[in-house]
Chain A
Amino acid sequence: MKYSSLFVIPAKAGIPFIFLFFFLFSSSFAQAAAPIQQVVSSQGVRAWLIEDYTLPLISMSFSFRGGVEMDPQEKQGLSTLTAALLTQGAGPYDAKTFQDRLASSSIQLSFGAGRDEMAGALKTLRSTRGEAFSLLSLALTQPRFDKSDFTRLRDQQSTSVRFRLSNPSWQARYALFSFLFEGHPYSFRSLGSASSLSLISLEDVKIFAKERLAKENLLIAVVGAISKKELVRRLDAVFGDLPEKAGGPDLPLVAWPKETKTICLKREGAQTNIFFGGPMLSRQDPDWYAALIANYILGGGGFESRLMKAVRERGGMSYGISTFLASMDKVSMIAGSVATDTAVAAETLALVKKVWHDFYENGASAEEIAAAKSYLIGSWPLNMTSTDSMASTLLSLQQEELGPDYRDKRESFLKNVTRVDIKRVIKKYFNPAMLSFATVGGTKKLSCDLLQDEAKE
């Protein structure tokens, strides 16, 4: 059992104490980044590839647009269940045989449902890539969906639902999303509930898979020990037989509620979990980088953020507080969370609002902006430390429509943001009056607009 610590730092522009010795001797071992190649197969399947033969491994990440949001309202959990069933037998192999084949070649294959996409990841030794690609092809094009596996995985999913119900931070997040996105599929629960799962049939799964797994929806990234020429061939073999067109409804954009609310859920225990959020500009907005910098300064920057310094280091009120930006297909938001002793929950909430308000009124200092830019620019290499993390980074660049040259342009996007840009974004999107809150725990001294029960099933 191991504990990680979070820790908080006072604003201090101390002089870095670097001995001259190290300047003289430190050398950079960095090599030029391997190029991102764009690959198109003869059947028109596209992928991004970084060829790298450092290790005898190949990692592939891919996604089909449309995920949890595509669940029918009364059958929430369908996308997650469908994704899980894709590794439970395909073509001639039942679930046991399929799993045996994966295991005996140490092939890692997984699927999952995100808010906006069905995602998959494959990782294999180079020596077993033939088997890996053929099992992936079977999983995508000829999934078995046997009745007994359907029942088993649906049962497992309802077990996960019950574990999740006892998690107060999940309860807070769900309560907030239910309010903010009421009537929109973004309020859906990815695992569903006991009753929604009971309404899902095997037929639903089959239809859902057919609608989602289509070529027009597909994005692919590959990193590792495979040549461009070979990948072209593999892409056709794996994805070529998928249908061209996807189905499913067109979803509207989220309409934000006219008023903000504080929703309080009562739960026994000495701690209160708080989740909060409000609207944010979208990933495609040119001001996105300014918002990224502002968020880092206010609450995204871990130990360096204003909220962490106030709530944790000076206040000792919590183990940690953080905020993040989420840009989804139909809405963008800023959100954050904190857990605190119930005795100081109201005080913590007031402090969060006060820090937020001060940021809104007075903006960020030049030093803060410089530090945020420095972090955001320098942190890029940490996304690229393994074949699978590189593949998933390449996939997300495609999902965000950023182009393969983003890697080279990213630094200038951040550098070019001015203090004026940041001020404009803060004035528009970092107003604490735009935030709604959900609390789970004690309710004393909190000014609740809505008293609610925790999700029960």
Chain B
Amino acid sequence: MRHLLSWVTFFFLLSVPNSHAAVFHSQSFTLANGMQIVVVPNTLSDALVQMVWYKVGAADDPSGASGVAHYLEHMMFKRTEKLESGEFSAQIAALGGQNNAFTGYDTTAYHVSVSAKHLALVMQMEAERMRSLNPAVAEAVTERNVVLSERQERTENNPIGLFYEKLRTTFFAEHPYGRPVIGWRKEIEKLDLENLKVFYNQFYAPSNAVLVVSGNVNVADVLRLAAGTFGRLAAGEKRTSLSLPPVMKLPAKQSIVMRDARVKQAFWTKQILAPSYREAPQKALATGVLLEILAGGEVGLLYRHFVMDKKSASGIDARFDSDTRGPSVFSLIAVPSLDNDLAVLAKDIEAYLHKLAQKGFSQASVDAAKKRFLDSAVFARDRLMAPAQILGESLAIGLRIEDVESWPSHIRAVTPAQIDAALRSLLAQKHTVSGMLLPKIKGGAL
């Protein structure tokens, strides 16, 4: 039956396969309806991970209806034309598999981990719910309560969650990134099936989706199955642009302080507007290496200086995710050591970074950080989920496979001068908000 197979393949495939010999050795294809497909064979185990990424997330929630993207993600496990409510998960469970989903600002992803022999069923069900969701009104109401309960657990009953929500709103204000992914309580309460339908019909379609299969599979099988499932769906309306608006205004406040009786440990953070890979690849890569030099665990400069040498912090870290459709954020987080003043620590960190910027980074420290980065690519291959996550997200925010697979050579090309420049521009950035979360002082006012 080989001929039938090749016919299917021929009919549904638009582009020729691209082979990449770098981080994950992935192969990528595009179906005639525009759906992108990436396969990462891995024979270490008998299992596979399938992820479907939609190029839509909480940043696309309509104004006044925050939380739609996330609420829809919950509802995707309900009734479709052919599946009963809950049948998707029940079928996966019966095979011993795991499945779940998550919503971010830029994307929404659905994933299944299961023995590789069940790929056909998994793909068939995932394709079914891409265009045929049909939930009942009553279950939408119940699920909205679940979402509200989730919001309570993550944010309202968690001072750290509340603090970050406030920080984000201050930082991004009216920008779509200024709203919580889960949505504002008042707006979630008003969401209904109609909101979900509009969003689903507009965005859930092959032309806005990326399929990644990682695990003990061969490429031809994946393509054949994808062509017979996702390949049969109408393309849908392709999004013309994944871009999000830039931030227009500086934050109204440069710092916030929050006190909460439930907090037992104070900490400080500073959020700084930073280049995303989409807008400035070279700058984002340099900022990434900078992050490793500053905050690469116990050998990072920040840990060495503040925790080991000065002993003014008991913990310090930095974060930077440049894989965003909109602006990216570089953040610093510090926890003071016992009896140390948080405000003084914050000031010392800023001064230290300025000093580093003046001095510049040595070739040796840059090379060490780059080597750790490059080695991490080998470790990433020892995870079924990692390639599905990294490749899927990258394509879903509008990057190319090459951006991931050629990452090692891009990292090798980063120079100390570029890293110096990356730090200087972070320090010169006016768009920042710092925040402190503190315990409540007994009897004190603020």
Whether B77 is near chain A, meaning CB under 8 Å from some CB there, is yes
Bound Cα distance A301, B92 (Å):
12
Whether B82 is near chain A, meaning CB under 8 Å from some CB there, is yes
How near does chain A come to B274, taking the closest CB pair, in angstroms?
16
Bound Cα distance A383, B305 (Å):
40
Whether B46 is near chain A, meaning CB under 8 Å from some CB there, is yes
How near does chain A come to B213, taking the closest CB pair, in angstroms?
12
Chain B residues 66-100 with CB under 8 Å of chain A are: 70, 73-74, 77, 82-87, 89-91, 93-98, 100
Bound Cα distance A9, B73 (Å):
15
Bound Cα distance A204, B41 (Å):
50
Bound Cα distance A328, B263 (Å):
32
Instruction: Count A-B pairs with CB separation below 8 Å.
Output: 279
Interface centre among B97, B102, B375 (most CB of A within 10 A): B375
Contact B100 A5 (CB under 8 A): yes
How near does chain B come to A443, taking the closest CB pair, in angstroms?
15
Contact B382 A387 (CB under 8 A): yes
Whether A10 is near chain B, meaning CB under 8 Å from some CB there, is yes
Contact A29 B115 (CB under 8 A): no
Contact partners of B218 in chain A: CB under 8 A: 29
Bound Cα distance A12, B83 (Å):
10
**What number of B residues sit within 8 Å (CB to CB) of A?**
99
Contact partners of B95 in chain A: CB under 8 A: 374-375, 378
Whether B209 is near chain A, meaning CB under 8 Å from some CB there, is no
Among candidates A3, A12, A106, residue contacting B375 with C-beta atoms closer than 8 Å: A106
Among candidates A155, A303, A371, A380, residue contacting B338 with C-beta atoms closer than 8 Å: A155
Bound Cα distance A30, B46 (Å):
5
Contact B228 A21 (CB under 8 A): yes
Q: Mark B218-249, 1 if CB is under 8 A from A, else 0.
A: 10010011001000000000000000000000
Q: A28-B116, A103-B372 are in contact. Are A7 and B89 (CB under 8 A)?
A: yes
Contact B89 A377 (CB under 8 A): no
Nearest opposing residue in chain B for A23, CB measure: B120
Nearest opposing residue in chain A for B89, CB measure: A303
How near does chain A come to B245, taking the closest CB pair, in angstroms?
19
Among candidates A5, A95, A386, residue contacting B384 with C-beta atoms closer than 8 Å: A386
Contact A31 B43 (CB under 8 A): yes
Whether A252 is near chain B, meaning CB under 8 Å from some CB there, is no
Stretch with Cβ within 8 A of A (4 or more), from B195-203, B307-315, B348-356? B307-315
Contact A12 B97 (CB under 8 A): no
Bound Cα distance A248, B145 (Å):
51
Bound Cα distance A379, B114 (Å):
7
Contact B89 A56 (CB under 8 A): no
Contact partners of A269 in chain B: CB under 8 A: 156-157, 262
Contact A22 B116 (CB under 8 A): no
Contact partners of A26 in chain B: CB under 8 A: 117, 119-120, 221, 225
Contact B97 A379 (CB under 8 A): yes
Contact B44 A52 (CB under 8 A): yes
Contact B375 A319 (CB under 8 A): no
Whether A428 is near chain B, meaning CB under 8 Å from some CB there, is no
Contact A7 B74 (CB under 8 A): yes
Give 20 CB contacts A-B under 8 Å: A3-B104, A9-B89, A16-B91, A19-B124, A25-B120, A30-B115, A57-B379, A103-B299, A106-B372, A125-B378, A166-B262, A303-B86, A316-B142, A317-B145, A341-B152, A376-B96, A380-B96, A384-B45, A386-B45, A386-B383
B interface residues, Cβ below 8 angstroms from A: 1, 5, 42-47, 70, 73-74, 77, 82-87, 89-91, 93-98, 100-105, 113-117, 119-121, 124, 128, 139, 141-146, 149-150, 152-154, 156-157, 159-160, 164, 181-182, 215-218, 221, 224-225, 228, 261-265, 296-299, 304, 307-308, 311, 314-315, 335, 337-338, 368, 371-372, 375-376, 378-379, 381-384
